[in-house]
Amino acid sequence: MSNEARPVLVTIVSSTVGGDEPPIRLRCSGQMKATSSGCMLRYQEVQSEEGTGQTIKQDVMLSVQPDRVTMNRLGEFGTTMVFVKDRRFEGAYHTPYGDLELALFATQVNVALEESGGSVHLEYQLDMQGSYAAVQTIDVTWTVEGAC
């Protein structure tokens, strides 16, 4: 895998297991760079806020290794989450209104890396402020622009 930053097309699908809400689906452009143990993926999520129509942008850095994924969400609503199968991670979700404690326990961490792209499947139990919140899944796939 080339260690130069390469443009990629990123697809993110996030859902709550057993929830009534439809999955959140996003497509965006990003950059992927190979590292000694996997790759670093950078992209910006852009969503319209329901009701106000205001655009919300979130910069994300995903460090992907075969058995470990670290997600850094930068900005006003920022956090770092570490996903290692059968391990608990504790951290904070930073907001302009104050910090919230968060913890996650990863039940699935599946990674596939190829020259033309890759994918990550995460399933985890999320706790907020010490209380169970939900079981979440996140699927991130990326394809190097121009690859077949």
In this prediction, residue 147 carries a pLDDT of 60
Q: Which stretches of the chain score pLDDT less than 50?
A: none
- pLDDT per position as a tens digit, 82-101: 999 999 999 999 988 999 99
- From residue 130, give the alpha-carbon distance in Å to each of 3, 18, 123, 144: 40, 21, 19, 40
Query: What's the per-residue H, E or C state across 76-120?
Result: CCEEEEEECCCCEEEEEEEECCEEEEEEEEEEEEEEEEECCEEEE
In this prediction, residue 62 carries a pLDDT of 97
In this prediction, residue 47 carries a pLDDT of 74
In this prediction, residue 1 carries a pLDDT of 57
Query: Among 12, 24, 18, which Cα is nearest to 62's?
Result: 12
Sketch out the chain's domains with CATH numbers.
6-144 (2.40.128.20)
